[in-house]
Amino acid sequence: MADDTIDARPPDGLKADAIGFVDALVIGLNATSPAYSLAAVIGPIVALVGIYAPGVLVASFVPMLLIASAFYYLNKVDQDCGTTFSWVTRAMGPWAGWLGGWAIAMTGVLVVGSLADVAVSFALLAFGLDSWVDNDFVRQLLAVLLILVMTAVCVIGTEISAKVQNVLILAQVVCLLAFVVVALYRVYADTSTFDSVEPAIEWLNPFGAGGSTLTGALLLGVFIYWGWESAVNLTEEVEDSAVAPGKAGVWSTVVLLVTYVSVGFAVVAYAGPAYLAENADEEEFIFALLAGQVMGGWDWVVLLAVSTSALASTQTTIIPASRTALSMARRHALPAHFAHIHPRFRTPDVSTWWVAGIAIAWYLAVNRISANALFDSLTALSLLIAFYYALTGVACAVYYRRHLTESVRHFVLIGLGPLVGAGLLTWLLVESVSDMSDPANSYTGTSWLGVGPPLVIGVGIAVVGVVLMVVWRLRSPVFWSERAGVADPDLVHGVHGTPGAPGAPGKES
């Protein structure tokens, strides 16, 4: 076996030690857009499983925690901002790694425009500018401007990005907490304007509803946890990069669990499952419907929570896509200009602006079809999310395969856990494909090529990725000469204080 190559980081690379653990944790939380995610799925989940919605939120957390464990251990031996791309390449070879990187990059493209749209819409509602929300030109113009502003913040520096995120998460948490407290108080005081029901411990049973509805609810549940790994994409810019980013990712999922379950209890208890089921088609505006009832004249608090949530996620969602493109470019898996680092701010400026530009183009183009087509493109996200999360779980077990029997801890946390998480997500991926094949299950309700639009979008993105991969393989075969390997025992056991630089080959088999 060849020895690992340990290279020093290039002096013009990303800015090391730019942020700390708490900043990374906050960015991981904001990337999931908690308030927006809850607003978007709580209605449909309740429509599917009724009072057992909190239990579904707990069940959806399980595969996320298992995959977060894979991120933690893979980051310990390879602190590369490309995360899944780099790890899968080392463990399973360049072809699988490239596809994993492509999936991450495209999730950002698909969702950024929608997040900006929601941020603008709820901010306008909070300030009483309802007519502006109904004006497509004004709303879309403000959304595009917002994307450009948040992209500029990402480019100017990781520190300022972290400071912005700290403010946004504080505002978001305070607003959500106020909603939960007031809603539950009114439930127990019997002053709810709906047929409220008092919370019960049995709501935590995800199997209470049973049947195929559970699968659909779990798919929605997995979506709201997506994004926590943004903290790990900043690994090269975080203090104690071997441990802190992975730990931030794990803790992000735990904090999200507590937040989601508490809000889930409050919403179901206050409004009652019947009202939520009747209004499930309102999607992310379910909070807008409840805000006035729960908060009275303070409904702007909840609207502001959703707005700041989407605003924060507009910025943080750009991070994984841009860092992945940077990582791919410096390993010759993409054109070299994507690896450009801004000489002053030491951030990946070219890849960041490219992600924003493509996201804006996608947002405007899909909106030309219909607003429902935009929602269908978001539904297609579940395919990409499940794919690269599952791929990461498998890569963890494969890359650490020579260390899994060293201890029960290694076997469970590095091998069995990530594989179980990958298996659950693969199952959900298959179920997603089956569900999306029926046009009736799409927002547009129309058929594209005989199946639902989300499936066409998801498969289309995958096909484009394969084509681009083959074309780039023919033009620049350097990256495809890399060989799959195993984790360096010294790095696994903490002998080296500094891990290999991005692009350093793994220990060959």
- Per-residue model confidence as pLDDT tens digits over 418-448: 999 999 999 988 888 888 888 887 777 788 8
Residue type, 466: V
Helix 94-126, helix 136-156: angle, nearest 10: 120
- 51 and 206 Cβ atoms separated by less than 8 Å: no
pTM for this predicted structure:
0.86
* HSE-CB for 353 with a 13 A CA cutoff: 12
Q: What is the DSSP letter of 239?
A: S
- 429 and 386 Cβ atoms separated by less than 8 Å: yes
Dihedral sign for Cα atoms in the order 243, 244, 245, 249 = positive
In 98-232, beta strands by DSSP E? none
Structure tokens at 264: 């889930």
A 10 A CB-CB count for 491 gives 20
What is the rounded distance in angstroms from the CA atom of residue 413 to the CA atom of residue 20?
25
Token pair 């700390």 is found at 20
In SS3 terms, 297-357 reads as: HHHHHHHHHHHHHHHHHHHHCHHHHHHHHHHHHHCCCCCHHHHCCCCCCCCCHHHHHHHHH
Write phi, then psi, for 342 (nearest 5 degrees).
Answer: -60, 125
Contacts of 311 (CB under 8 A, 6+ apart): 115, 116, 119, 123, 146, 150, 168
Write phi, then psi, for 486 (nearest 5 degrees).
Answer: -130, 165
Those residues of the chain that have pLDDT short of 70 are: 1-12, 17, 157-162, 165, 210-212, 276-277, 279-289, 291-292, 295-299, 494-509
What is the rounded distance in angstroms from the CA atom of residue 415 to the CA atom of residue 492?
14
Q: Of the candidates 376, 51, 393, 60, which has an alpha carbon nearest to the alpha carbon of residue 216?
A: 60
* HSE-CB for 460 with a 13 A CA cutoff: 13
19 three-class SS: strand
- 15 and 81 Cβ atoms separated by less than 8 Å: no
Domains and CATH numbers, the chain: 21-338+348-482 (1.20.1740.10)
Structure tokens at 165: 């995120």
Structure tokens at 283: 């999607």
Structure tokens at 200: 């019960």
- 418 and 426 Cβ atoms separated by less than 8 Å: no
Structure tokens at 431: 């179920």
**Torsion angle of C-alpha atoms 405, 410, 414, 416, degrees rounded to 10:** 60
Amino acid 508: pLDDT: 41
* HSE-CB for 201 with a 13 A CA cutoff: 0
Amino acid 8: pLDDT: 37
What is the rounded distance in angstroms from the CA atom of residue 320 to the CA atom of residue 229?
8
Q: What is the DSSP letter of 181?
A: H
Q: How far, rounded to the nearest angstrom, does the alpha carbon of residue 137 sit from its chain's CA centroid?
A: 28
A 10 A CB-CB count for 185 gives 14
What does the DSSP assignment read for 434-475? HHHTSGGGSSS---BTTB-HHHHHHHHHHHHHHHHHHHHHHH
